[in-house]
């Protein structure tokens, strides 16, 4: 899975550099199993991808639930092109805090 992860002062940023498909989405989920305990915000940067399948959307919902349980914020950054279209068509733009770059 093509990921870049950084952690700084409670903000865990994950840059996804590989399209989220049925194959790669479980890899992303596995990579994020061991997030820092003291996380205040998870930032998922999707600017490096051009496509997200329903499996990727499921992972995003799962991450939102985990952040809600921790009392942390989930920010999705870099949603563009086809990925933005998918977020809009599914109503996910209303479920997530989406930050344009």
Could you tell me the residue ranges of all domains in the chain?
3-99
Residue-level pLDDT at 34:
86
Q: Which of 20, 85, 82 is nearest to 56 (CA)?
A: 20
Is residue 28 within 8 A of residue 1, CB to CB? The reply is: yes
Range of weakest confidence among 28-37, 43-52, 78-87: 28-37
Distance CA 6, CA 12 (A): 6
Residue-level pLDDT at 40:
96
pTM of the complete model: 0.92
Confidence tier at 37 by pLDDT (50, 70, 90): confident
Among 3.40.640.10, 3.30.750.24, 3.60.70.12, 1.10.620.20, what is the CATH number of 3-99? 3.30.750.24
């Amino acid at each position: 899975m093509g990921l870049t992860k950084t952690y700084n002062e409670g903000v865990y940023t994950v840059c996804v550099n590989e399209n989220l498909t049925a194959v790669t989405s479980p890899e992303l989920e596995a990579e994020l199993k061991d997030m820092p305990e003291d996380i205040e915000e998870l930032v998922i940067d999707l600017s490096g991808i051009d496509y997200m399948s329903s499996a990727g959307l499921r992972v995003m919902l799962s991450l939102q639930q985990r952040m809600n349980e921790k009392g942390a914020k989930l920010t999705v950054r870099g949603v563009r092109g086809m990925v933005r279209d998918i977020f809009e068509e599914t109503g996910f733009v209303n479920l997530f805090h989406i930050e344009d770059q």
